[in-house]
Amino acid sequence: MKRIVLFLATNLAIMLVLSLVLSLIFSVFNLDRSSIPGLLVLAAVFGFGGSFISLAMSKWLAKRTTGAQVIKEPRDAQQRWLLDTIATQSKKAGIKMPEVAIYPSDDMNAFATGASRNNSLIAVSTGLMAQMTQDEVEAVLAHEVSHVANGDMVTLALIQGVVNTFVIFAARLIAGAIDSATKDQDGEGGLGGIAHFMVVIALEMLFGILASMVVAYFSRQREFRADSGAAKLTSSHKMRAALERLNRGQESQMSSTMMALGINGKRSISSLMMSHPPLEQRIAALT
């Protein structure tokens, strides 16, 4: 789940900054907040901008967040096997060889991220390498290679761009309506500059939660596709064994900001916010 949560967290931070910038642009240039076409254009520019900035930063941020060390020259037989396995799977999937990294964690997990199919990173935890069999690790790697081959990060960036646009547009449209409704006949009253900005931020946070549910839904669907791709690159038996091993393993200890990038997710309070389907459903889908 690491890939998605990190992307969402980065996108949220960037969106807050861009929201402030957009509000300043309206104030400094005295733009008409009631101009729906103009607002929609600005919302799309900033919405997709935030999403693709997050995508461009994804590899760098993933390395910094997890402490992942890219394998440039293998130090032992295990690292050599890791590079060879991903190279073989990448060739079979028709993508450029990703960067390969290992990050320190007792948690059994792995993730793939990057701006494109040919500019990606696949990282595995030390816990996964220590606790899984070679066949199970091979299936996990194939799952991550499938994410890259399917272009899942770009797809989710586009989806996030659409929902970002909705969040920015709807928040400012509603804030404008509240401002107009609270003015008297002489145009006095209404929301002041700071009050207007605070209402916009509050609405963006509310709509952002709803938007995250939409992105999480699409993320869950991509997981089934990645599992299917991994079964083709290895075998259904190996992929099922890897998922069953994850299901038997301890609860993921991965930080919430990285959870959506990995193969091993955990259930949230609401199933609507889960970026991964339950492992039981994924196992059943392979049968």
pLDDT of residue 224: 93
For residues 260-268, average pLDDT = 52
pLDDT higher than 50, residue 256? no
Question: Does residue 271 surpass a pLDDT of 80?
Answer: no
In the chain the beta strands, taken as DSSP E runs, fall at 69-70, 99-103, 110-116, 119-125, 260
Select from 102, 113, 87, 81 the least CA-distant residue to 9.
113
Read off the pLDDT of residues 169-210 as tens digits, 9 standing for 90 and up: 999 889 888 877 877 665 566 666 678 778 888 898 889 888
Q: Is residue 127 over pLDDT 70?
A: yes
C-alpha to C-alpha distance for 261 and 120, rounded to whole angstroms? 13
Instruction: Identify the pLDDT of residue 268.
Output: 47
pLDDT at 75 over 90: yes
Alpha carbons 15 and 251: distance in angstroms, whole number: 31
Given 99, 136, 138, 144, the catalytic residue? 144
Q: Is pLDDT of 216 > 90? A: no
Token reading at 49:
């901008």
Q: Select the more confidently predicted residue: 233 or 276.
A: 233
129-133, 166-170, 172-176: which is most confident: 129-133
pLDDT for 88:
98
Query: Nearest Cα to 132, choosing from 109, 161, 100?
Result: 109
pLDDT-based confidence at 47, cuts 50/70/90? confident
Nearest Cα neighbor of 127 from 233, 254, 226 is 254
Query: Which residues have C-beta within 8 Å of that of residue 109, sequence separation ≥ 6?
Result: 2, 124, 125, 127, 128, 252, 254, 262, 263, 264
Q: SS3 for 282?
A: helix
Q: Is 100 helix (H, G, I), strand (E, B) or coil?
A: strand
Span of 45-59, 65-79, 98-112 with lowest mean pLDDT = 45-59
Mean pLDDT of the chain: 83
Encoding tokens for residue 54?
Answer: 């997050």
Helix ranges, the chain (H)? 2-28, 36-66, 77-93, 126-131, 134-149, 152-181, 193-233, 236-248, 279-286
**What is the distance, to the nearest Å, from the Cα of residue 187 to the centroid of all Cα atoms in its chain?**
44
pLDDT grade for 269, boundaries at 50, 70 and 90: very low
What pLDDT, on the 0 to 100 scale, is given for residue 258? 44
Size of the chain, expressed as the number of residues it contains: 287
**Is it the case that residue 261 has pLDDT exceeding 50?**
no
- Percentage of residues of the chain with pLDDT beyond 70: 75
Give the percent of the chain with pLDDT over 90: 44
Taking the model in full, what pTM does it have?
A: 0.79
Q: Residue 259 pLDDT > 80, yes or no?
A: no
- For residue 263, give the nearest of 145, 167, 170 by alpha carbon: 145
| pLDDT at residue 15, rounded to an integer | 62
Tokens matching residue 225: 């596709």
188 is catalytic: no
Residue 278 has pLDDT above 50, yes or no: yes
- Token pair 């696949």 is found at 122
